[in-house]
Amino acid sequence: MQAAEIDEEFPVVDIDSPALEAARMLAEHSLPGIVVLTADGQLYAVLPASQVVRFIVPSYVQDDPQLAGVLAESTADRAAEKLGGKTVRELLPQHQLTLPAANADDTIIEVAAMMGRLRSPLIAVMKEGKLHGVITASRLLAMALKCGLTEQALSAVVTGLKTAIQPAPTRVGVAPSTA
């Protein structure tokens, strides 16, 4: 199973679109992050939701987190005003992070390892230099569970755990040798 076989379409934002639009898109659809493209459709950044949230944190607070605690509640409540008139480009992190991008023919484990290492809840899948699709953490887990364990094996695991008569097997699933 290769990355390009399990990736999905995902909403993208243009780097020069209003930051407010990106934040609303993420909030309304509960997205795990956003994919930012340049005007000519090139992949520019993949931001996890936790970093999009930084859009509403004043930069002096980001520099000194202690300050967040002394902001009046009314000021904190109007934090989203910070987004008004800003573009996504203006709010991207100063230093470009490693792009969480996989190749079309990467395996599910390569994608999972990259996801864990870069702490990114979504991985862009590239094919011939273009964005082919996106793999989210939940999609990856769903596919791994689907192809790694049949329902039968799964139920054996659960039963095994419940009865706990014998030590848990180190390897459970569809063993080709018994097929």
Q: Which of residues 8-37 bind a copy of itself (CB under 8 A)?
A: 18, 20, 23-24, 26-32
- Helix, strand, or coil here: 134? strand
Binding residue (CB under 8 A) for a copy of itself from 4, 15, 57, 99: 57
Q: Residue 5, interface with a copy of itself (CB under 8 A)?
A: no
For residue 115, state whether it binds a copy of itself (rule: CB under 8 A). yes
Q: Give the residue from 85, 121, 124 showing the smallest Cα distance to 103.
A: 124
Burial (CB < 10 A; 0-12, 13-18, 19+), residue 144, is: middle
130 or 174: CB nearest a copy of itself: 174
Q: Is 107 in the site for a copy of itself (CB under 8 A)?
A: yes
Site string for a copy of itself, 136-155 (x = CB under 8 A): xxxxxxx-xx-xxx---xx-
Contact predicate 125/133, CB 8 Å: yes
Site for a copy of itself in 158-177 (CB under 8 A): 158, 160-161, 168-174
Residues 64-93 close enough to bind a copy of itself by CB under 8 A: 65, 68-69, 71, 73, 75-81, 83-86
In angstroms, the Cα distances linking 120 to 30, 34, 38, 86, 153 are 15, 11, 20, 24, 30
In angstroms, how far is the first alpha carbon of the chain from the final one?
20
Examine residue 133 and tell whether it contacts a copy of itself (CB under 8 A).
no
Count of residues near a copy of itself by CB under 8 A: 81
User: How many other C-beta atoms can be found within 10 angstroms of the C-beta atom of residue 146?
Assistant: 12
Q: Tell me: does residue 124 bind a copy of itself (CB under 8 A).
A: no
